[in-house]
Amino acid sequence: MQIADNTVASFHYTLTDDNGQVIDSSEGREPLAYLHGSGQIVPGLEKAMTGRAAGDQFKVDVAPAEGYGVHHPELVQVLPREAFQGVEDIQPGMQFQGQGPQGVINVTVTKVDGETVHIDGNHPLAGQTLHFDIEVTEVRPATEEELAHGHVHGAGGHHH
């Protein structure tokens, strides 16, 4: 069976950056299972998975526009420390939710400099080309319940 909309695909992956550094991997874990066509993985990887079958191994490079998006400089800001009321010890790497022009936005603290806090509302991988090494382990039809819920159930998926 080939991967197509409304199938459940399971795969092992290693994600690296332009320098070959591993960003994430399924090594030592269960394969990642997802419902194809539901937007659960980045668009460029989902396109590359279409038509593949169990046992297929391949590499794919996903450009930022089809990965986690391009880097938007306007999402990088410097705020006064008092904007973080109730937070005693602000450290780089901390994440907060804030209000942006399109609604709620997740931001990461990138630097704390005295009374100023530098934040970035971009996804940490925005602007980066994603290099995937993929091994498809299983492809099966999605169940009616999975289609109704919009996600995979059972091993490697969601458990209710």
- Does domain 7-68+126-149 bear CATH number 3.40.720.10? no
- What's the CATH architecture for 73-120? Beta Barrel (2.40)
Cα separation, 132 vs 90, in Å, equals 34
DSSP, collapsed to helix, strand or coil, labels residue 74 as: helix
Report pLDDT for 105.
86
pTM here is 0.82
Q: How do the pLDDT tens digits run along the chain, 160 residues long?
A: 999 999 999 999 999 999 999 999 999 999 999 999 999 999 999 999 999 999 999 999 999 999 999 999 999 999 999 999 888 899 999 999 877 777 888 999 999 999 999 999 999 999 999 999 999 999 999 999 999 998 898 755 554 4
Identical topology for domains 7-68+126-149 and 73-120: no
Type and span of the H or E element at 144: helix 144-149
Report pLDDT for 99.
75
Contact 89, 103 (CB under 8 A): no
Report pLDDT for 122.
93
Cα separation, 91 vs 81, in Å, equals 11
Report pLDDT for 31.
96
| Domains in the chain: boundaries | 7-68+126-149, 73-120
Report pLDDT for 158.
52
Residues 6+ apart with CB under 8 A from 38: 150, 151
